[in-house]
């Protein structure tokens, strides 16, 4: 059930407002959007990995963007945002399920990161150059017997936001604007973001020149308003997202919808790891064994270790043979 924000800008329905994705629409223009605010869940991810600041910052951006994008879709599976690059940071992977359970990790060369001078980027926190050439992919996996959706975009522009906006405009024909802020100071990692999108209309409506001129004005006005949002408004946990949206778009008629609470949860388990090992060929499983015939696997997302003895591996081989 949607909630219309009144002139006072207050919403007292008890909506969770930290670690949350808040969908909304603007009634006067038909534009749609989402607001993300992360606190404890992002802090848990960052502290778990203890990456260098530049890596943590880009990981925070990727986590925030993945939640904005996943909230667009109606799915009952896993949404994955993956970045592959050739710079000091080789990869960033974050995924979220329909329950709002998020996890993430990065792969990078610590020596290259340590040797670089980041002085010029300490104020604007723009570490996009550490990715260099590469691409970003978005994947929705709803399990067996379903078709996977995937989109890919080169790492263009000056930020991850630029790459996402370029993808929607070029591949999906959806105008997209994003305003995002990351707060890394004093170990209080927080992020906030708001995104609005220009939803395509019917061919008949698109052919109406007067209507499209009006919609263009709506879009320009909305994006200008969105960019006036201050960092503290995006980040402050004591400022309700409904208040922020009202401050930005009160003249547009803001309507908010049920939010999705976000939680840092890793879905790894011994059973899942066993299933993955069984999908490997016998030769690949053998290569994974050490000199004692054992396999030791560490989850990149959470650091949890899974140890398989020689007998465990033999049992896995037998199960794999039966399945094949």
**pLDDT category of residue 146 using cuts at 50, 70 and 90:** confident
Q: What percent of the chain has pLDDT over 90?
A: 59
Q: Is pLDDT at 10 greater than 50 in this prediction?
A: no
**Do residue 60 and residue 189 come from a single domain?**
yes
Tokens of 166: 């370029």
Q: Is pLDDT at 264 greater than 60 in this prediction?
A: yes
Report yes or no on 219 lying in a domain: yes
Q: Is 12 helix (H, G, I), strand (E, B) or coil?
A: coil
**pLDDT category of residue 121 using cuts at 50, 70 and 90:** low
State the pLDDT at residue 2.
40
**Do residue 138 and residue 252 come from a single domain?**
yes
- The 10s digit of each residue's pLDDT in 166-217 is 999 888 788 899 999 999 877 789 999 999 998 776 666 665 666 667 778 8
Report yes or no on 222 lying in a domain: yes
Number of structural domains in the chain: 2
**Do residue 161 and residue 201 come from a single domain?**
yes
**Do residue 301 and residue 249 come from a single domain?**
no
**Do residue 253 and residue 291 come from a single domain?**
no
**Do residue 19 and residue 84 come from a single domain?**
yes
- The 10s digit of each residue's pLDDT in 73-84 is 777 789 999 999
Domain region containing 280: 270-323
State the pLDDT at residue 211.
65
| Phi, psi for residue 98 in degrees, rounded to 5 | -65, -15
The residue that leads in pLDDT, 165 or 120, is 165
Q: Is pLDDT at 18 greater than 60 in this prediction?
A: yes
Q: Is pLDDT at 290 greater than 60 in this prediction?
A: yes
pTM exceeding the 0.85 threshold for the entire prediction: yes
Domain harbouring 197, CATH code: 3.55.30.10
Report yes or no on 190 lying in a domain: yes
Mean pLDDT score, 133-154: 87
State the pLDDT at residue 3.
36
**Do residue 121 and residue 241 come from a single domain?**
yes
Domain harbouring 274, CATH code: 3.90.1280.10
**Do residue 96 and residue 168 come from a single domain?**
yes
Q: Is pLDDT at 233 greater than 70 in this prediction?
A: yes
CA distance 283 to 280: 8
Which residue, of 221, 242, 264, is where some domain finishes? Answer: 264
CB contact set of 17 (below 8 Å; sequence gap of 6+) = 37, 237, 240, 241, 259
Report yes or no on 9 lying in a domain: no
């Amino acid at each position: 059930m949607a909630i219309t924000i009144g002139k006072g800008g207050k919403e007292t329905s008890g909506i969770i407002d930290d670690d949350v994705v808040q969908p909304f629409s603007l009634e006067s223009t038909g534009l749609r959007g989402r607001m993300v605010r992360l606190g404890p869940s992002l802090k848990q991810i960052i502290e778990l990995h203890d990456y260098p600041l530049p890596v943590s910052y880009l990981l925070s951006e990727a986590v925030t963007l993945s939640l904005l994008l996943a909230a667009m879709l109606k799915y009952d599976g896993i949404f994955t945002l993956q970045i592959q690059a050739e710079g000091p940071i080789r990869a960033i992977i974050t995924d979220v399920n329909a329950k709002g359970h998020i996890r993430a990790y990065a792969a990078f060369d610590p020596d290259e990161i340590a040797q670089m001078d980041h002085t010029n980027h300490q104020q604007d926190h723009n570490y996009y150059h550490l990715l260099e050439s590469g691409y970003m992919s978005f994947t929705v996996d709803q399990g067996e017997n379903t078709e996977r959706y995937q989109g890919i975009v080169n790492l263009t522009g000056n930020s991850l936001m630029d790459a996402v906006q370029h993808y929607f405009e070029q591949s999906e024909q959806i105008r997209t604007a994003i305003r995002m802020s990351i707060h890394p100071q004093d170990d209080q990692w927080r992020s906030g973001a708001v995104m609005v999108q220009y939803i395509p209309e019917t061919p008949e409506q698109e052919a109406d020149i007067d209507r499209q001129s009006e919609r263009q004005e709506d879009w320009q006005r909305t994006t200008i308003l969105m960019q006036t949002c201050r960092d503290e408004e995006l980040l402050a946990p004591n400022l309700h997202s409904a208040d922020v949206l009202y401050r930005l778009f009160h003249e547009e008629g803001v309507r908010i919808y049920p939010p999705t609470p976000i939680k840092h949860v890793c879905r790894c388990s011994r059973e899942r790891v066993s299933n993955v090992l069984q999908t490997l060929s016998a030769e690949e499983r053998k290569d994974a064994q050490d000199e004692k015939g054992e396999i030791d696997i560490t989850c990149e997302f959470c650091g949890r270790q899974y140890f398989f003895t020689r007998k465990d591996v033999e049992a896995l081989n037998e199960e794999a043979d039966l399945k094949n």
